[in-house]
Chain A
Amino acid sequence: MAAKSYNISELDNKLADRRYHLADSNPEFTQKILKTSRTIANMCYQCGTCTGSCPSAPRSSYRIRLFMRRCVLGLENESLTDPDLWLCTTCYSCTDRCPRDIAPTDVIMAMRNLAFKRDIIPKNFLQTVQLIYNSGHGVPNNDVNRAARTKLGLPADPPTTHTYAEFIPGIQKIIDHYELKANADRILKGD
């Protein structure tokens, strides 16, 4: 059926076709999720145990069951552009209770990986990347803490990359291998 358009944005919005068409589905999306999540995401039968277990569901519009459904149907756009994708605390309660033995949490992680490939990612995630790239730590040391450490008889900096900075280039090499830092910088600059 030809797409309709009334050329009146208000009407086009109000009367937009809400049906689900085959063209909305990308079977490859399901396959990619299966591979990345390493769980049988295609086997969901929509019982809702996941949402019922989810600490985020009662306080938001986030429905993990809905993402599972989108995964089964290959609804890539709808999955990756939904801001609720980032409300999973990865508590794995759904995974422990899923009667199909699926790990919905890992499906969410796989979708987030795929979203990042399309530059869809909350800023705070990228800031963590930058911190680790520069110091090896996602939560680096600070002066107040150094003073406290000294008082406890600990070295001012822990025996991690903070003390052994010679390990940082290796870490940067790993991150650069995946071009993560460059992408993070680029996406953050674009914001």
Chain B
Amino acid sequence: MHEYAFFLGCIAPNRYPGCEASAIKTSEKVGIKLLPLKGASCCPAPGAFGSIDLNVWYAMAARNLVLAEEMKKDITLICNGCYKSIWEVNHILKHNDELRDNVNEVLAEIDMQFKGSIDVWHLAELYYDEKICGVQKIKDSVTTPLTGAKIAPHYGCHLMKPQKERHFGDTENPMWFEELIAALGCEPVQYRNKMQCCGAGGGVRGYDIVHALDITNEKLINVREVGADAITEVCPFCQLQFDRGQIEIKEKFGDVYNIPVLHYNELLGLAQGMSPQDLALDLHAIDCTPFLQKVL
């Protein structure tokens, strides 16, 4: 069993608890144990905090990292926004002495110190990583293949970009997420401009909601164009933007899509035999029932 400190973030536990529940259960079936990271906070939101004062962003993220350093466990998480904060701040502070000293000066006030002794991983990359899990192991864990469903993959931005500082390779047309999706028995579909942003990041969702929704809408048009039955992603914030965004788009623009949006962990949970109730899919704004009837 590979053990990790499970960094929850905000939206997964507090809006889509199915993401949290499915992450814990699905990962265990492929040999990954998620331990609670007690006392963790918001990552903090890279768009909001980063825009206000990067130094606070560094310090707040560092505090979360120190909690895991004290557990002597690497962190895993299920949100691209959290990945941006936790992975990137870890990376920056490991490599930038000046910033690390500044952060540690502040952390000293609460008897903490950033040491740089752990690594940070997105659960999806652990799933894909042959050394930890790998696509085959995911495939082997499937009991209820989600056959017949066309799934539009949404990679999101902050997991893989900026490419140079990350380790995921190509960000123009990556295919690794498609492999993970195909492992569940469903068909990943290609659609126009799949790497485009969901529109929510950088504080834009709060600052100018119709602007953010217009970006989302463009993606939804492209997804509908290829007849996708659902969208899957690895970021609850993107999920929120696509899921609740569809309701807001209907209200503000009048466009109706009804395309269910599921976190990859939720999809994996279904494929491993979890029921829709186990995943609290009823909390999704877009009704998942037609999709569930198609695949289950």
State the A residues within 8 Å of B (CB): 36, 38, 55-56, 59-60, 86-93, 95-96, 101, 103, 105, 109-110, 112-113, 116, 121-122, 124-129, 132, 136-142, 144-145, 148-149, 151-154, 158-164, 166-167, 170-171, 173-175, 177-178, 180
The residue in chain B whose Cβ has the minimal distance to the Cβ of A111 is: B51
**Are A132's CB and B199's CB within 8 A?**
no
**B44 interface contact, C-beta 8 A:** yes
Q: Which of B115-123, B126-134, B181-189, B209-217 contacts A (4 or more CB under 8 A)?
A: B209-217
**Are A148's CB and B283's CB within 8 A?**
yes
Residues of B within 8 A of A151 (CB): 277, 280
**B56 interface contact, C-beta 8 A:** yes
Residue of B112, B195, B206 with highest tally of chain A CB at under 10 A = B206
Tell me the complex Cα distance, A95–B158, Å. 12
Least distance between B67 CB and chain A CB atoms (Å):
8
The residue in chain A whose Cβ has the minimal distance to the Cβ of B110 is: A170
Contact check: which of A55, A140, A174 meets B14 at CB < 8 Å? A140
Tell me the complex Cα distance, A178–B107, Å. 12
Contact check: which of A91, A136, A175 meets B201 at CB < 8 Å? A91
In B144-163, the 8 Å CB interface with A consists of 157-158, 161-163
Residue of A92, A105, A141 with highest tally of chain B CB at under 10 A = A92
Residues of A within 8 A of B71 (CB): none
The residue in chain B whose Cβ has the minimal distance to the Cβ of A164 is: B39
Whether A177 contacts B109 in the complex (CB less than 8 A), given A93-B197, A154-B21, comes out as: yes
**B136 interface contact, C-beta 8 A:** no
The interface size of chain B toward A, counting residues with CB under 8 Å, comes to: 70
Tell me the complex Cα distance, A140–B11, Å. 8
**Are B48's CB and A180's CB within 8 A?**
no
**B42 interface contact, C-beta 8 A:** yes
Residues of A within 8 A of B171 (CB): 96
**Are B13's CB and A160's CB within 8 A?**
yes
| Other 8 A-B pairs with CB < 8 A, given A91-B157, A93-B197, A159-B39 | A89-B204, A95-B161, A110-B54, A113-B51, A136-B41, A159-B36, A174-B59, A174-B110
Whether A122 contacts B196 in the complex (CB less than 8 A), given A128-B45, A158-B20, A167-B39, comes out as: no
**B208 interface contact, C-beta 8 A:** yes
Tell me the complex Cα distance, A171–B40, Å. 10
Tell me the complex Cα distance, A171–B56, Å. 10
6 contacts between A and B (CB under 8 A): A144-B283, A145-B17, A145-B283, A152-B278, A173-B109, A177-B106
Contact check: which of A55, A116, A125, A152 meets B197 at CB < 8 Å? A55
Residues of A within 8 A of B283 (CB): 144-145, 148
**Are B15's CB and A122's CB within 8 A?**
no
The residue in chain B whose Cβ has the minimal distance to the Cβ of A132 is: B42
